[in-house]
Amino acid sequence: MRSPHRTTPGSAADRSLLRDSSLVWLASGVVGISFGAVSVAGGLPMWVPVLMSLVVYAGSAQFSAVGVLLAGGGPVAAAATGLLLNTRTAAFSLAVADIIGTGPAARLLGAHLVTDETVAFALAQSDPVRQRRAFWISGVGLFAVWNVGVLAGAAAGSALGDTARYGLDAAFPAVLVALVLPTLRADAAVRRCALLGAALALAVTPAVPAGIPVLLALAGLFLHRRPTTPRGAAA
């Protein structure tokens, strides 16, 4: 008879996934606390960041949307900015469509859990079964920790009083820089696009409503070039 205390390969692999995912969960929780605290300290009602995190659940896009609102931009500009920043998840969804599952409930919930981290964890696995388990383990945990962090930060933010002395307004640019810095370091083409976009945004900021400079910064993508294929290399 198999001992109930014997470790199976599957359970060992799941513990490994939990261990690796927990590092991302911890970082997500810290960022969530920052998001909730700065949102409320900036003047938004507590329910706004909490509900946004439950319904939208878009990480960097949430930061950008709330940043536009706190800067005086309208809800349309805020929503458009967040939507454009989150369009990358459309490609991610195609990559994990077969991993999530085939049932309507699995696809609906799975689509809500698609993030950079869950896709990376899933695609790093070697077989379809492990990919699916990795997606759901990392996704459910990340969603839970993010929302708990946002709730805790929002509750703390309402009790901070004058937040100017804490410098919490620096959290938005700091988090966004942290999110894009690895890509900027690794890809010269992305750096060129980012520099042009930043220059355009700075140039038009005095003349247009808040949120519009972020949208116009997307024009920097015109500098991006696909790698050229050498002659004769194509089959």
Question: Do the Cβ atoms of 167 and 34 come closer than 8 Å?
Answer: no
For 124-133, write each residue's pLDDT tens digit: 777 888 888 8
- Residue 153 contacts by C-beta under 8 Å, 6 or more apart in sequence? 32, 33, 34, 35, 36, 37, 38, 39, 40, 49
- Mean pLDDT for 135-151 is 91
Task: State how far the Cα of 102 lies from the Cα of 221, in Å rounded to an integer.
Answer: 35
For 180-233, write each residue's pLDDT tens digit: 677 678 778 878 888 888 888 889 888 876 667 767 777 877 776 654 444 444
Q: Residue 57 to residues 13, 165, 190: CA-CA distances in angstroms?
A: 28, 29, 25
Question: Do the Cβ atoms of 188 and 208 come closer than 8 Å?
Answer: no
For 15-74, write each residue's pLDDT tens digit: 777 877 787 788 788 888 888 888 888 888 889 899 999 988 887 778 878 888 887 777
* Total-model pTM: 0.65
Give the pLDDT of residue 161. Answer: 55
pLDDT band at 170 (very low <50, low <70, confident <90, very high): low
Give the pLDDT of residue 148. Answer: 94
Q: How many other CB atoms are there within 10 angstroms of residue 133's CB atom?
A: 18
Matching residue, tokens 């869950």: 118
- Residue 43, exposed/middle/buried by CB under 10 A (0-12, 13-18, 19+)? exposed
- Residue 128 contacts by C-beta under 8 Å, 6 or more apart in sequence? 98, 99
